[in-house]
Amino acid sequence: MNARPFAVSLAALLAVLTLSACVTGLASSERAKCAWMLWREDETKTPNKLPEVEWAAPIAYADRAACVAVINDNVTRWEEKGSPTQSVERTSSGTAAEFRTRYDGGWLSTRFRCLPDTVDPRAPKASAR
């Protein structure tokens, strides 16, 4: 199986989802002080290499419900597309979801997380001692 079509389709889907999140986030941030952030973590695993992780800049939402609505929309679009090589898992709280595409010996994964603006899910920074 060739991983290229899956990578291209995942990249196109992520571009649409990100644009949708940006537009919604901008509208929400104009209405009120931001209290919830939508974080996106992209992880790629290829054969014989360690996973590579990249974080996108978080998008601010006025409240938890607005942030979770973006995740719900993304899950619905992903499930409608459907593919045996793709899966999506949501947390029971609805504040996070992982979208995964599997291919020859590897996978592409995007995780969305809605968190209060006081929480940063990225690994702690090393101290400058």
Neighbour order of strands in the sheet with 106-116: 52-61, 36-45, 106-116, 96-103, 86-90
pTM over 0.75: no
The pLDDT of residue 41 is 97
**Residue 12 belongs to what domain range?**
4-116
Interval 77-122: pLDDT, tens: 999 988 889 999 999 999 999 999 998 889 999 999 999 999 999 9
Is residue 56 included in any domain, yes or no? yes
125 domain residue, yes or no: no
Most confidently predicted of 30-34, 37-41, 121-125: 37-41
Identify whether 123 is part of a domain.
no
Q: Decide if 15 is inside a domain.
A: yes
100 assigned to some structural domain: yes
**Is residue 79 included in any domain, yes or no?**
yes
Q: Can you tell me the distance from the alpha carbon of 10 to that of 6, in angstroms, rounded to the nearest whole number?
A: 6
- Across 1-16, average pLDDT: 47
Q: Does 127 map to a domain? A: no
Average pLDDT taken over every residue of the chain: 80
Percent residues over pLDDT 90 in the chain: 60
Look at residue 55 in the predicted model and tell me its pLDDT: 97
Number of domains in the chain: 1
Residue 78 lies in a domain: yes
